[in-house]
Amino acid sequence: MTNFTNLPVIAMRGNFFFPNVRAKIEVARAISVNAIRFAIENGGRFFMVSQLDPASSNPKGAQDLYTVGVIGEIVSVDNATEQSMTVTTRTIERAKITRFTASDNLFLADVETMDYTCNNDASSDALYKQTIEYVKRLAKAEPRLKIDIKPMTAEHIDYLSFTNVVANEVVTMLPSRQDILEESNIDVRMEKICAYTVGQIEFIQAEKRIANRVKKQVEAGQKEYYLREQMRAISAELGEDANEKQEYLDKIKKSGMPEEVAKKATRELNRLSKMSPTSPDAAVIRNYIDWLCEVPWTAESEDNKDLVLARQILDEDHYGLEKIKDRIVEFLAVMQLTGKLNGPILCFVGPPGVGKTSIVRSIARALDRKYLRVSLGGVRDEAEIRGHRRTYVGAIPGKIIYMMKQAECINPVLLLDEIDKMGKDNRGDPASAMLEVLDPEQNFSFTDHFLEVPYDLSKVLFVCTANATDDIPEPLLDRMEIIELSGYTELEKIEIANKFLLRKNLVLHGIPEGAVEISNETYAKIIERYTSESGVRSLERQIATICRKVALKLVANPDEKIVVTEENLHEFLGLEKHRDDMAMGEPMVGTARGLAWTRVGGVTLNVDATLFQGKGEVQLTGNLGDVMKESARTAISLVKSLADEYGIDKTRFAQTDIHIHVPEGAVPKDGPSAGVTMATVIMSAFTGIPVSNQVAMTGEITLRGKVLAIGGLREKALAAYRLGITKVIIPKDNANDLEEIPQEVKDKIQFILAEDIKTVFEHALIK
């Protein structure tokens, strides 16, 4: 070992030279230029050592430098200015710093040379030959490397010089280069050179494979595609997963999906990682994994358990419907006690405008749950419920899973609106798909065709709405509890208009509260003369019309207070749209008023009968269905059988043609409940006795004169109430249904219970 003192230090940025190397170096930093000048003035020797951080432009002292470097000497100065110098140097020997002195413009160090060890045996010779072999392979793999290592003869092998030359030419990475410089065992040095060379060979080969792979996958000019493929290929070759995969793994973990679902998602993710990122299949798999991660699996909102508050919310949102509200609160109470949804699915059935959809929204508000609505009207494709399989282009989950994603929790209130409007065709039967959704015994493992994994719907509160149950398949109907919303009385409509509709439309039309006044009598006239409905939708439209007229007046005179009365109502709504001419006129022979049920509520049905000389033929008009035609013929036969009792000459039937007509011929009509009405008009026509214009009737008849029960009595009674009918004849068997009639209606209408047709004639015909 030899010691050298006060050698100027040149800090190298990322590179240095091994001993016994002649090279040119350029120095431009002031501290390095000063070191060269100091060396020239003091014998020409200096100490070359690398910085720990090659990016640093201003090393402060020994803490920023390696401790092992190389002693060199200046051979010549080729170019020198005040700011930079180019010098030819020759490195001499490896050394390490023993003392370091730093000033603002110069580093000085005392160094000590380092000894080497070598086995100089067969293993050294083997390592020597192996190193030469690897260096040759590297030169072959990468022709750009100018490597010329001449093997030494066995008698003159200088292993130290050999490792210095090879390391200086082959090892380019600073950490490996410094590690080999600091290694004192020559055999170990050769092992490290071999390991580094093998790594470089593999890297160069991998780079070539990547280049070939990318070249086959892209076309000329697709620069962006080429770069992305190259980055992906590099990642795959180095065994590194792309960031996308880790992001998806984190999403899968955070989603809380069941273990089996997570396994499937992970399998699909592994497939994705092996695909080209721009391939169509990759996009399909990525979309699939996104859906699995985004649908809620465990997130659950907390229910409101205050039933008093729930009832209060229902009362705030809806007037009347007391039995409906009671049933809803009972349902919520049972759900609170059991902790789960028990019993059938609620299905609200009734005509348009009675509040079916809005009451479901109130249920969600009472429970403090997320409210979502799915419109099923016109749905004919089963895939809209269960989703499309992933093999289809543009496949997505069905409406149910889509809504669950929107809900972001597993226990929303999900309204299945207009469930009676679903159809079926060659694409499947969506009503059958709904069986699994609405069955508590099955929906805990609902399977969407797109997701292909079971999904738990058992905590979803499903509520359905329909206008009628006739079109709902029996198996689906069996899973529901039907709650009928028949319609509102005039008093209820007035209260709804006062408490809800007017206030809502004042806000919508920008009218200050108190700027318009509508009395109850005015509301009653609007209901009677401008609307004819079970619900309040048409009433709301009329109120909106009034608000528009009021807004126009307020623009002209902002301080004016508008009072809408019965007398000036026509200024706002125009001519009356509905008038009951039959009630306003005189009782007529051969004309009676029946009651009928429709999907939009109850209606009155005028029936006319005319006799004229003929051959006993019967003509039926008015777009009547087969059942109604049969009722007409039954009524004629019944009147014939009662001819003697009511003083009718039997021979007249053979000489008289009968024409029965039900007005509004464009509207199809059917059903047996018009039987008593037809019998009454035929009896009136043959006896010449007029029928009271304040009487309405409904009921099916038999050939023996019995009056049979009918359905839809509440809707029919409300229809009679809307027209101001004072007496309604109904079958005796419907007596129990009178409990469903609002008391307001029963106070204004006298209900006659008829067991046979004679009772009907007694109360309908004016004697």
Q: What is the spatial distance between Cα 311 and Cα 313, in angstroms, rounded to a whole number?
A: 5
**DSSP secondary structure of 49-112:** EEBSSTT-S---SGGGB-SEEEEEEEEEEEEE-SS-EEEEEEEEEEEEEEEEEE-SS-EEEEEE
Alpha carbons within 13 angstroms on the beta-carbon side of residue 235 total: 16
Residue partners of 764: CB distance under 8 A and separation at least 6: 592, 680, 691, 692, 695, 697, 729
Could you please report the per-residue DSSP string of 693-757? TTEEE--EE-TT-BEEP-S-HHHHHHHHHHTT--EEEEEGGGGGGGGGS-HHHHHH-EEEEESBH
CA 755/CA 746 separation, integer angstroms = 20
Beta bridge partners of 417: 375
Taking the C-alpha atoms of residue 731 and residue 260, their distance in angstroms, rounded to an integer, is 61
The Cα 710–Cα 672 span in angstroms is: 8
DSSP secondary structure string for all residues of 352-370 = TTSSHHHHHHHHHHHHT--
Gap between the Cα atoms of 288 and 505, Å rounded: 45
Contact by Cβ (8 Å): 480, 464 = yes
Dist CA 648 CA 638 (whole Å): 13
Question: How far apart are alpha carbons 98 and 93 in whole angstroms?
Answer: 15
> Distance between CA 426 and CA 430 in Å, rounded?
11
Helix (H, G, I), strand (E, B) or coil at 647: coil
Which residues contact residue 342 at a Cβ distance below 8 angstroms, ignoring those fewer than 6 apart? 334, 335, 440
Which residue matches tokens 């419109």? 375
Q: Which two tokens stand for residue 28?
A: 């431009």
- For residues 332 and 521, give the distance between their C-alpha atoms in angstroms, rounded to a whole number: 38
Write out the catalytic residue numbers.
673, 716
Asked whether the beta carbons of 714 and 740 are under 8 A apart, the reply is yes
Which residues lie across from 446 on neighbouring strands?
455
